[in-house]
Amino acid sequence: MKRHDFWQGLVAAAAVVGLFGGFGTVAQAKSTAKTVTFGQLTNHNTHRLAAIRQAARQQILTQTHAKSRRVAAVYQVKLPHHMTKKATLTANGVKMNLLANSFKVKSITIPYTQLRGKILNRYIPKADRTKAVKGKVVALTFDDGPDPTLTPKLLKILKKNHVHATFFEVGQSVSRYPKISRAVLAGGNELGNHSWNHPDFNSIGTAKTVNQVMRTNRDIYAATGQLPQYVRPPYGNITAAEGRAIEQPIIRWSVDSRDWSYLNKQKDINSVMRATRNGSIVLMHDIHAPSVAAVPTIIHKLKAKGYHFVTVSQLYNNQALPGLQYFGAGDYRVAGR
């Protein structure tokens, strides 16, 4: 795994798949409708096109006020796979026409704010573009929740310290404690998919892996009204075929606290502080009391070293794309590799 200086690494990595394509362009999306191809929108980047499909599914559900039982159906809607297909730039977002579908929707308009990092910046109004974070940054992530006692306690700690984190939740726990999942988002944090019941994806095959992810997407949507953007595979294991089939960015980590093995507050603190670097993604769990107890000290010590805490989306400036897996700033590869 390569290690880079944060900004040099991010720019170098982004260049490979054209993530910064068009960022130097100052032209603002026009209020008058304009027809463009998906190739133009994405700089012919298939990962970006997959990200547009991901945003389109959320928009279909939102636009139709769909119940959670319809989540599986939205993945059956035929969405663009070819760069020559056309869309329309409008004042409110990118409009695309749909083929006949069970939602009976003829077209959708995806807001520009939902397409940050997915289409080239030249097609996004300046006011809707994101700005890359500056300085030393670290993303705290927590797996295996929500826990009815520990997750609310952790949320209070984060709020008190003005820190936002990314939570990768297990579907069966989300179905039991949906209010806690809503509280995660209400606190300004991110919520990702960590499978339905934590199997090793490599051992169950692509079809069952997709089912694990879809069931969890459904329950997160039922709890929050939002499909999770990211997936973190249990144990970090995922095949290339599974990565393609899921069509969501895969978020791994660069700092493994091993809190699940220590179950010791001080060891957790020492482990994180020893390994954290600029642009790190830190893996912890909000189902272990010592882990949650270690968080205030970890935050205090990292702030003292000049770190700012960001969500995964902020770390990547909203440019994490389906089909790729991310380990830390400037360190990513095709899923399954």
Same domain? For 320 and 172 the reply is yes
Identify whether 1 is part of a domain.
no
Radius of gyration of the chain (CA): 20
pTM of full prediction above 0.85: yes
Q: Which of 47, 194, 285, 288 is catalytic?
A: 285
The whole-angstrom separation of Cα 159 and Cα 55 is: 29
The two tokens of residue 13 are 């990595």
- Total domains present in the chain: 2
Task: Tell me 231's DSSP state.
Answer: B
Q: Tell me what the mean pLDDT of segment 26-44 comes to.
A: 78
Identify whether 238 is part of a domain.
yes
Same domain? For 75 and 165 the reply is no
Q: Measured in whole angstroms, how far is the alpha carbon of residue 284 from the centre of its chain?
A: 17
Percent of the chain with pLDDT over 70: 91
Q: For residue range 251-266, what is the model confidence (pLDDT) as tens digits?
A: 999 999 999 999 999 9
What confidence score (pLDDT) does residue 130 get? 82
Same domain? For 194 and 101 the reply is no
The two tokens of residue 183 are 């509280």
Identify whether 292 is part of a domain.
yes
Same domain? For 124 and 193 the reply is no
Quick check: helix, strand or coil at residue 215? helix
Domain containing residue 223: 136-334
Binned at pLDDT 50, 70 and 90, residue 12 comes out as very low
Residue 33's alpha-carbon distances to 27, 109, 189, in angstroms, are 15, 12, 35
Identify whether 152 is part of a domain.
yes
Same domain? For 106 and 200 the reply is no
Q: Which residues pair with 88 in a beta bridge?
A: 35, 95
Which of 79, 94, 128 is where one domain is finished?
128
Q: Is 285 a catalytic residue?
A: yes
Q: Is 308 a catalytic residue?
A: no
The two tokens of residue 224 are 């929050």
Q: For residue range 283-332, what is the model confidence (pLDDT) as tens digits?
A: 999 999 999 999 999 999 999 999 999 999 999 999 999 999 999 998 99
Q: Is the pLDDT of residue 23 over 70?
A: no
Q: Which of 47, 143, 194, 331 is catalytic?
A: 143
Which of 128, 146, 163 is where one domain is finished?
128
Higher model confidence: residue 23 or residue 47? 47
Q: For residue range 156-205, what is the model confidence (pLDDT) as tens digits?
A: 999 999 999 999 999 999 999 999 999 999 999 999 999 999 999 999 99
Average pLDDT of the chain, as a whole number: 92
